[in-house]
Amino acid sequence: MHNNERFKSLPPKQQAQIRQRLQQWNRLSPDEREVMRDREQAWERMSPEQRQYVRNELLPRWQQMPPERRQLLMGRLHTLRGMPEADRDAQLNDPKFMQGLSPQEQQTLRDLDHLRNPPSAQ
């Protein structure tokens, strides 16, 4: 970065932010970096409307949840990981799997699953 003219032309505050992000990235484990790359790829695949939905609806809903409820949803997402689409859909429509989740949490779980695993074109 010291030799990069474009970087050196940025305001000091922006340079500091970039350095901070690079330090955070360098502290990640290889698995954490892979997760971040996957998230970035998922974001890039989204339409502008989907991105807007995530920013304006899904993210605020997630941030308003108590940590224990977020952890519960993450556990359910982990259960769904690696399943074929038909099996995931069956689980997401199974009252036993959704037991203990409010309707809003159920929708959040479905939304998060679809972000991770976009439905295939049929």
Q: pTM of the full predicted structure? A: 0.69
pLDDT in tens, the chain (122 residues): 667 888 889 999 999 999 999 999 999 998 889 888 888 888 888 889 989 999 999 999 999 999 999 999 999 999 998 899 999 999 999 999 999 999 999 999 999 998 877 766 54
| CB of 94 closer than 8 Å to CB of 58 | no
Of 50, 55, 27, 69, give the one whose Cα is nearest residue 118. Answer: 50
